[in-house]
Structure 1
Amino acid sequence: MLVDPFFYLCAVPAILIFGMAKGGFGGGIAVVSVPLMSLAVSPMQAAAILLPILLVMDAVALWSFRGKWDKANIKILVPGAIVGIVLGSLGFRYLSEDMIRILIGVIAVVFCLNYWLKKALVDAKGPSVMRGSFWGALAGFTSFGIHAGGPPVNMYLLPQRMEKSLLMGTMAIFFAVVNVIKLVPYSLQGSFDGTNLLTAAVLMPVAPIGVRLGFYLLHKVSEQTIYRVCYFFLFVVGLKLLFDGFVGVLS
């Protein structure tokens, strides 16, 4: 088990933030969690420690949003995500974490700027096999690497302007399936050693607190505000990922 106090200083808020996003508040903010934990450990170790905790968050989120999810979108997104996870497990070793951050950052920032400046995505769009498969695959790929599948899924689901609980419930189902599938390649790569599993167990009680806090805030804030928060955090996180990625590549 890790005993470095600085690690826990980074890990506890990272897990709370991820949990709040799972609970429906903050949208893309969850992608800051692995980078935050990476201040104390390597990104790969941070991702390995976080995955079992995400499964607990998924269980709480599924219970919180039970019965509220869009079946058509799930049927489109999940097959694409499986393809993305397979590609990530095969090719992630050849693509650095910094390049992944740059990729996610570019997509997130461009998406938000398009929404704010051109308003091209204001009109509701329904489920699309072509768009959903692409964003689902990208979400599976980035989720495999640094648990950063939120921005690609947001880019597919947010323009549909679903009711906020339906939106978050759909995301809860999607990521629950994705995280269970990710257990296979993570196990095959030996990511779940004793140190990582014990550390995850110690941090596990923080997970449901974050999810329930996010769920509480979701139902105390207007739907319009939720979407504004989602786009705002998506943009901020995109800038942060771009900065971290370029710093890492150039260093």
Structure 2
Amino acid sequence: MIELEPWAWAALGVAAVTIGISKTALPGGNILAIALFAAVLPARTSTAAMLLLLMVGDVFALLAYRRHAHWPTLLRLAPAVVAGLVVGFAFLAIAGDGIVRRAIGVILLLMIAVTLWRRWRQSRSDAVDTPRGGILLAGTYGTLGGFTTMVANAGGPVMSMYFLATRTPVQVFLGTSAWFFAIINLVKVPFLAGLGLFHGPVLLMDAVLAPLVVIGALVGIAVAKRLDQRLFDRIVIVLTIAGAIYLLF
């Protein structure tokens, strides 16, 4: 087991609950968990430890929202995401932590600006029941999503911006996100295993924290049922901005 101070365990406990909530109610909200893990653990170790806990959350997200996924969106994103994962793996192997964090922060702020601009140009009356978005939009967000999720488990905010940009309803947003990250997180395992990041102490620590992810996921399912579309969109945008600022500074 990794030896940590009580305050550090408390921080990781809060992070684990946050991971569960972000998986079932607030995609992109795991930025708080990223910050807490990075504050307590070495950067590369935190990436591996978080990935396993995210996969626990993925199970509950799929149980709750698997039927709401929009598969054409996932298929449209797939090629770009794979490219982003490969680039992210190469970047993770050669770049320092500071460069990685700032690069992701800049990307997130740019995505927020583009999304808000697009939404300003479109009226609410144009909303539809299924996601919209062309190949260029999917390619841009997919590549950035794959890149950021590989280097820092921070793909949630980028993909949240994509789903907001395509005006995706809450349930479809959550269902498509659930399948997207469940698949992507499984793909990431051999990459990080190849870097030797899944050692015994990390696995034991995750075993202790996993029940808190379950609690957070159940809380998130209850909360999501009470969120309307406008409030949901605003919360996601605020969390993404906060995450981008954190990564920059």
State the TM-score, normalizing by the size of structure 2.
0.90
1:154 is aligned to 2:160: yes
Q: Mean alpha-carbon deviation: is it higher for 169-178 or for 146-155?
A: 146-155
Percent identity of equivalent pairs: 26
Q: Which blocks of at least 5 consecutive residues in structure 1 are unaligned?
A: 244-251
**Deviations for 1:198-229, whole angstroms, at most 9, x for unmatched residues?**
11111111111112212211111212111111
Aligned to 1:136: 142
In 2, distance between residues paired with 1:122 and 1:236?
25
Question: How many residue pairs get matched?
Answer: 242
1:225 is aligned to 2:231: yes
Change in 2 beyond 3 A, CA 1:160/1:119: closer
Q: Mean alpha-carbon deviation: is it higher for 78-87 or for 157-166?
A: 78-87
**Deviations for 1:100-122, whole angstroms, at most 9, x for unmatched residues?**
22222223334434555785464
**Deviations for 1:147-186, whole angstroms, at most 9, x for unmatched residues?**
0001221222112222101101101110001000001111
Where do residues 63-212 of structure 1 align in structure 2 (5 Å cutoff)? 63-113=63-113, 119-120=119-120, 122-123=122-123, 126-212=132-218
Q: Which blocks of at least 5 consecutive residues in structure 2 are unaligned?
A: none
Q: Mean alpha-carbon deviation: is it higher for 149-158 or for 181-190?
A: 149-158
In 1, distance between residues paired with 2:51 and 2:189?
8
Structure 1 stretches of 4+ moved >3 Å: 110-125
Q: Mean alpha-carbon deviation: is it higher for 58-67 or for 148-157?
A: 148-157
What is the identity, as a one-letter code, of the residue corresponding to 1:171?
S
Aligned to 1:47: 47
CA contact (8 A) 1:109 1:238 kept: yes
In 1, distance between residues paired with 2:18 and 2:187?
23
SS at match of 2:40: coil
In 2, distance between residues paired with 1:223 and 1:216?
16
Deviation of 1:34 after TM superposition, in Å, equals: 2.2
Aligned to 2:21: 20
